[in-house]
Each structure stands twice: as structure tokens, then as C-alpha cells.
Amino acid sequence: MTYLAKPRFHHPKLPTNALGYTRRDYEGAVSTLCAGCGHDSISAAIIQACFELDLPPHRIAKLSGIGCSSKTPTYFLGASHGFNSVHGRMPSVLTGANLANRELVYLGVSGDGDSASIGLGQFAHSIRRGVNMLYIVENNGVYGLTKGQFSATADRGSTSKRGVANHDQPIDLVTMAIMLGASFVARSFSGDKAQLVPLIKAAIRHQGAAFIDCISPCVAFNNHPGSTKSFDFVRAHNEAVNRLDVMVEREPIVADYAPGEVVDVMQHDGTVLRLRKLDAQYHPTDKRAAVAYLQERDAAGEVVTGLLYVDPEATDLHANLDTVATPLNALDDAALVPGQAALDKVNASLR
């Protein structure tokens, strides 16, 4: 960490977005994480994505659980709403907030311990309910905050900093998310912003449960030769299936692609996801093929990254429940407290 606040001065040519903000306006307090932590790079990527999407900071809610990863919302989007819940309980708080006010952009920020250990049930249910959110797990394979115990995503056979091997089967959150019905699933790496930023942008624009598993080396406890979540290991085994460009309506489409097949996926809100295929066999809209591919490459020891699955026809919890479109805080008393007659009517319908 640093004790100094980041100086206010910025580059004189720093661009502004449609709202007149610079990227610096999307920053938060200075990070207290260990120097070099992958989580800080993810924060920087979130800042960049929100800036590029011209999101008004006060229309974003960031929610988290407990862990170094869950601390990061303090370090970005300082002007947004925030909720730091208890360990593993971010998904239910986020679900509640989303039900009450569907007009905010929801960022669920979690760790592999927070989501794959104590919060596994919460993770599963928020995904299968299709809560409209970006759920991002900053996956370092350890409980960073409590000094580096293996988490449930640590690979079997990988070792701790002290050389002790992990014997348990890892949980693959990506495969789980696809199986549980997430309509946008990606994996990325904190050390590759060129890949991560467009994925975050696309996931934010996605109207449904979007999940990103972002491998994020823990420099203090899990960046050693026996780790499979280290900078070196991930760089050596990273197999990106595609490269993504996100085109929001107003942006002109500038095509400067290296040769290779290009697929456009139009999302519900009109965003175009332009995918340059790096692996010709990979079809991110085919769920079964995606899962099969992931398992095959996983067996080969590769870390598959990129946009792994997207359902362009996704729906969300509100659509499923047919809830009122207006946020609860904007409904008047009459609508919120319809009175005895309305209650009698509901009761009667249930008799």
C-alpha cells in the first residue's frame, strides 16, 4: 500500500468521456492492498470500463463480501454506491438491492474464498435466478486476507508458498456458472487489460447474470513456482479463445483486425460484441460445446480465457418475476401500500 493519496494532477491530454469525466474521476481511495496485487489491476480495469461506457458514477452500486478482493470497491468508483456485506453474502444483498431498484448498474465484487467457499450457495442462487449484474470473482486461489490458505479454486497438486500440496478437487466457477444458467460467462487475467476491459464492458451492458472469473495473482502468498495462479504460470498456459471489442451504438465501427474469423453478437440493449476468433472451433453461443471444450482444455492443463459463453437472448430476474418497472423508491405510497381491499383480493385469489 501507499500512505499518500494519488496526486490530483493528471496527464494534460487525459481524454474525457461523453459525460465530461476523465478516467481519474472514476477512481476511489488509494489501495491498501499489497503492492503488485492483481486485484488492483482489476480495479483499474473496472475504472477504465466504466469510463469508456460513459456511466454516471452515481448510477452504479458496488457490492462485496469479505476478503482482499472484497475490499477493492473502496479503491474504485469513489462516487458510486457501495455495500460491504458479510463473508459470502454479497449475492443476496445484491439480489435484494436489484429487486428494489433495477435502474442501477450492479457490480458484485468477490473473491474465490468469498464465492467458492463460504458463499458458494449464494453464488449459485444469484446466478441461477438471473440477477442482472456483473458478478466478478478476483480469483487468486488463496484466502489472501487471512494470509494465504488454499481456497476452493486452488488446483489439485499446486503448492502453498511453503511447499505444501493441495489435495482437494478445485471448483471451476466458470463451468459452474455456465451450468447454473449464467447468460454471460468469461474468464480473464488481471495481467491482461487489453482482454479484461472489453469483457467488463460487455458484461456490464449484458442484461442478465454476467459472471467473470478473473485470475488475479496474489503477490504475497501465491505467486511462487508451485502456484497455478501466478503471473508466470498463467502467462505460460493462457489460451485465449477470442478477442472482444464492444461497440455501443454511438461508436463508429472501426475494423482493424488481424486475419481470422470475426463474429458479431448483438446483445439485447443493442451493444454489438465483436469477437475475433483465436480458436476457430470455439462457438461462445453453444453452451454444451463450450462446457465440453473447457473440460478438454482444462485436462490439457490450459487456462482458457476470453468470452466463453453468451446468450444474446438473456432475460433477468425481473422479467421472470414480472416485477414493476419503477424502482421501489420512486413508487408513491398508494402503490406501495395498496390497502386492505387489495390484500383481501390477493388473499381471496389464494383460497
Ligand X SMILES: Cc1ncc(C[n+]2csc(CCOP(=O)(O)OP(=O)(O)O)c2C)c(N)n1
The footprint of ligand X (CB under 6 A) covers 66-69, 87, 111-114, 118, 138, 140, 142-146, 151
Q: Which stretch in 61-69, 93-101, 187-195, 291-299 sits in contact with another protein by CB under 8 A?
A: 187-195
Q: Taking a C-beta distance cutoff of 8 angstroms, is the pair 173, 123 a contact?
A: yes
Nearest to 141 by CA among 133, 130, 149, 132: 149
Q: Which stretch in 109-117, 163-171, 260-268, 278-286 sits in contact with Mg ion by CB under 5 A?
A: 109-117
Nearest to 124 by CA among 194, 175, 168, 198: 175
238: contact with another protein by CB under 8 A: yes
192: contact with another protein by CB under 8 A: yes
**Closest separation between CB of residue 179 and another protein, Å?**
29
Spatial neighbors of 147 by CB under 8 A, at least 6 apart, are: 221
The three cell numbers of residue 120 are 458458494
Q: Taking a C-beta distance cutoff of 8 angstroms, is the pair 290, 309 a contact?
A: yes
- The SS3 assignment for 339 reads coil
Q: Which stretch in 51-59, 111-119, 222-230, 316-324 sits in contact with Mg ion by CB under 5 A?
A: 111-119
Q: Which stretch in 35-43, 86-94, 116-124, 130-138 sits in contact with another protein by CB under 8 A?
A: 35-43
Q: Which stretch in 141-149, 157-165, 177-185, 320-328 sits in contact with Mg ion by CB under 5 A?
A: 141-149
7: contact with another protein by CB under 8 A: yes
The three cell numbers of residue 102 are 433495477
Give the span between the Cα atoms of 82 and 101, in whole angstroms: 14
Spatial neighbors of 12 by CB under 8 A, at least 6 apart, are: none
Cβ atoms within 10 Å of 30's Cβ, excluding its own: 13
140: contact with Mg ion by CB under 5 A: yes
Q: Quick one: 257 or 323, whose CB is closer to another protein? A: 257
Report the partner that residue 228 touches, choosing among Mg ion, another protein, ligand X, none (CB closer than 5 to 8 A by kind): none
Q: Quick one: 144 or 198, whose CB is closer to ligand X? A: 144
Give the span between the Cα atoms of 157 and 155, in whole angstroms: 6
Q: Quick one: 132 or 158, whose CB is closer to Mg ion? A: 158
139: contact with another protein by CB under 8 A: no
Chosen residue from 6, 59, 147, 156 binding another protein by CB under 8 A? 6
Nearest to 82 by CA among 54, 104, 61, 57: 61
**Closest separation between CB of residue 69 and another protein, Å?**
16
Written as one string, the DSSP assignment of 99-158 is HH-TTSEEEEEEEHHHHHTTTHHHHHHHHHTT-SEEEEEEE-SEETTTT-EE-TTSPTT-
192: contact with Mg ion by CB under 5 A: no
**Closest separation between CB of residue 111 and another protein, Å?**
18
**Closest separation between CB of residue 190 and another protein, Å?**
7
Q: Quick one: 113 or 198, whose CB is closer to Mg ion? A: 113
- The SS3 assignment for 52 reads helix
Cβ atoms within 10 Å of 182's Cβ, excluding its own: 29
Report the partner that residue 318 touches, choosing among ligand X, Mg ion, another protein, none (CB closer than 5 to 8 A by kind): none
Q: Quick one: 232 or 286, whose CB is closer to another protein? A: 232
**What phi and psi, each to the nearest 5 degrees, are found at residue 190?**
-60, -25
Q: What is the binding site for another protein (CB under 8 A)?
A: 1-4, 6-14, 24, 34-38, 40-41, 43-44, 190-195, 217, 219, 223, 231-232, 235, 238, 240, 243
